[in-house]
Amino acid sequence: MSTENSRHAVNKRTDPSKGGWQRWLLRALAWTAGAALAGVLSVLLGGLMALAIAYPNLPDVSELSNYRPKLPLRVYTADGTLMREFGEERRNLTPIGEIPQVMKHAVLAIEDARFYEHSGVDYLGVARAALANLGREKSQGASTITMQVARNVYLSSEKTYTRKIYEVLLTFKLEHLLSKDQILEIYMNQIFLGNRAYGFAAASETYFGKPLKDVSIAEAAMLAGIPKFPSTANPLANFTRARDRQLHIIDRMQDNGFITAEQAAAAKQQELRIRPVNEASRVHAEYVAEMVRQMMFAQYGDDTYSRGLNVYTSIRAADQNAAYTALRAGILDYDRRQAYRGPERFIELPGNPKELDEAVDDALASHPDAGELLAAVVTRVDAQGRSASVMRRGGETVEIAADGLRAVASGLSAKAGPNIRIRPGAVVRIVRNSRNQWAMTQIPEVEGALVALDPRNGAIKALVGGFDFDKNKFNHVTQAWRQPGSSFKPFIYSAALEKGFSPTTMINDTPLFFDASVTGGQPWEPKNYEGGFEGPMTMKRALARSRNIVSIRILQTITPRYGQEWITRFGFDADKHPPYLTMALGAGSVTPIQLASGFAVFANGGYRISPFLITRVTDHTGKVLVESQAEPPSESSRAIDARNAFIMNSMLQEVARSGTAAKAQATLKRPDIGGKTGTTNDSMDAWFTGYQPTLVTTVWVGYDTPRNLGSRETGGGLSLPIWINFMQTALKGVPVADAKPPEGVVQVGGDWYYDEYARGGGISNLGGAGLEAADPAAGQEAGAGAASSGERNRILDLFRN
């Protein structure tokens, strides 16, 4: 080889421009590939190690194949209307097959349109979200429905890489063990949707007041938009924000082919009726629901609020609402006759109008609406008190004219004290009056109770334990022990029938007096409520006229000890009714439900009944756990003879026809109703208990701390109108019952008698019981009609026993 060729060969090997750079590049690429491979292997190895460590610690998701979330206790009327539910979470467990397609499409459109295509993690969705976020578009997430189930059921909401790793691992595990439908079912029942609603079925009831199966495209789209901001963007919290989200979802539903353009346009135009917050219960049965809750908790403990119990009661929805309305109307009528007590509170109104709404909202937060009595803050008062402006929550302004200020006129007077004066900043109550005009009013201080039950078996049909449950949760129907007053007299008269009295027994209505040395306190001279004395009268007329003196003479004759024993037959407690003559005037203690149960004995022919409320308890699948059959009473539960019940029924019908409760038959125009008014000493309690053979109802009105209701307030004037108002609804369509006389009674001269007393037997007057016959003429001459000395001594002897 020549020298020139050798030199050329050397230069070819050493000149970089002649191919050395290729080798350098290959080596660089080799090193890069090796580093990348090492990195990938390291990541894979790290991932495998993390998986090996983390996977065994993942929770067992197999239990989700038999998904059992927390389900609340639900309380229903007899006709299946939901009254109330108890539990941290409102949820209606709905199988996937019962969830309407439109609801599924709305959720998939906004949450995970490729749900049925990916394997748990949507890689296309991740890439799309990343590009959108890098492009500074609206931030997008990439969580699939499966990932949300993993997070919501098992993980916290903290944003950490560790939690995200667990979320992805759980996602794969869920996708492996469960079907797509099972995962979607869990999501749609588990997701939180604001206002304690979990799952779309509960949310549909909460926001629209309808079952999920009935939602429209527009409603489904609004529900599907709630999960992103459940507490702040639901239609109750912020309708505008919820509406914007709804419109976006309707567009997504159209883009994904779930609905047509025409359907989308119609859905956007649909006007939605959002269920108001105060319409959470369509049946006003708060006291009933609380009674059920207490009974269920006593049986099931803490599981009461999570195992999905459904409790069906004997309550009739229409009767319950009629009872609620009647009691509130009667109490409000009474309160309008009372003096105005002044605003509930005073606040300083800010000078800046922009701050006014917030100040009003803050002030009213501690003054919730009480049914139709709405809380508001006065913002303006006319100098002459002829008009006023008030502001409600949310900045709503209401103008009130002169007619609407009559009930609070004393608070607008220039002479009103500082605590009574209505001025800007005063927290007051407003209400729509009978002419649908705004009026200013106040929350009543007086309380009341109404209970109605079926005397044939004891089933409670309506129960209202007070004016407003949120104001006072004390259940006056079952917990208030009060003096029954004259409404207790029928039970004393019933005892008298067994001692030979009859409706025509003549009894003297003349004065009685008890000396302080005998009573151990103040001298007692009982009076008739209406004053005056009428002389001799029949026992039937005395009951109709509610004459106190006659009742005392009757009890004096049969003895208080016998009377005390007799009343226990009706379910009254002997120790609550000491054996003194004052028992004849209802000086003992009863509860409204106890009094109603006692009158049921007269209504059903003499049988004692036990009131009951719960008829059936089921679990969330409908399996019956407890069932109570309402059965008519048997002879083993007989309290009094059928003859006694029949005659007392005829006498109590006379009370409702011509006596202190004459308004009852005059208004209802039914000959089959009876009852008895009751007004206690100093008018501290007002009662009326009346019945028809299928329904007995007791109404009570009084103050929690007993005080005078007013000198003119009586059971007939205060409680009877409430009873009539309720019974007009409750007895609508109920046929008039014709009472059949039992064996052993006969009718003579229009009155009923025990057969053995019809022809000269029994007691024709008190002299027939061994007492001096009353002489009304002599009584008038003696001045004030004083009782004879022998009779007076015998009555006083009763106080010494």
pLDDT > 90 fraction of the chain, expressed in percent and rounded: 60
Reported confidence tier of residue 39, pLDDT bands at 50, 70, 90: low
Amino acid identity, position 645: A
State the pLDDT at residue 799. 45
More confident residue, 136 or 233: 233
pLDDT of the residue at 158: 57
Q: Which of 674, 646, 656 is nearest to 753 (CA)?
A: 646
Annotated active-site residue in 85, 89, 111, 447 = 111
Does residue 434 carry a catalytic annotation? no
Mean pLDDT taken over the chain: 85
Q: Which two tokens stand for residue 365?
A: 């937060």
Across the range 250-273, mean pLDDT stands at 95
pLDDT surpasses 80 at 30: no
Q: What pTM value is reported for the model?
A: 0.80
Q: Is the pLDDT of residue 664 over 70?
A: yes
Which range has the worst mean pLDDT, 35-49, 122-136, 259-273, 419-433?
Answer: 122-136
Average pLDDT over residues 671-679: 96
On the question of pLDDT at 331 being above 90, the answer is: yes
Mean pLDDT for the stretch of residues 261-287 = 84
What is the identity of the amino acid at 545?
R
pLDDT tens figures, 383-396: 888 899 999 988 88
Q: What is the pLDDT, as a whole number, of residue 62?
A: 60
Other CB atoms closer than 10 Å to residue 97's CB: what's the count? 7
DSSP 774: P
Average pLDDT, stretch 247-260? Answer: 95
- The per-residue pLDDT for 514 is 75
Average pLDDT over residues 726-751: 94
Q: Is 486 a catalytic residue?
A: yes
Catalytic residue of the set 486, 502, 546, 551:
486
Instruction: Specify the pLDDT at position 65.
Output: 62
Give the residue from 226, 223, 185, 218 showing the smallest Cα distance to 204: 223
Specify the range with the lowest mean pLDDT, choosing from 89-93, 574-578, 662-666. Answer: 89-93
What is the pairing mode between strands 506-509 and 614-618? Answer: unpaired
Q: Which two tokens stand for residue 641?
A: 């003879």
Q: Stretch 356-378: mean pLDDT, rounded?
A: 91
DSSP state letters, 150-193: HHHHHS-----HHHHHHHHHHHHHHHHHS-HHHHHHHHHHH-B-
Residue 354 — pLDDT band, cuts 50, 70, 90? Answer: confident
Query: Is pLDDT of 88 > 90?
Result: no
Instruction: Indicate if the pLDDT at residue 638 is higher than 90.
Output: yes
Render pLDDT for 607-636 as a digit per residue (tens, 0 to 9): 999 999 999 999 988 999 999 887 888 899
Q: What is the pLDDT of residue 774?
A: 35
Predicted pLDDT at 63: 60
Q: How confident is the model at residue 787 (pLDDT cuts 50, 70, 90)?
A: very low
**Mean pLDDT, residues 412-421 taken together:** 91
β 745-748/460-464 pair status: unpaired
Question: How far is residue 253 CA from its own chain's centroid?
Answer: 39
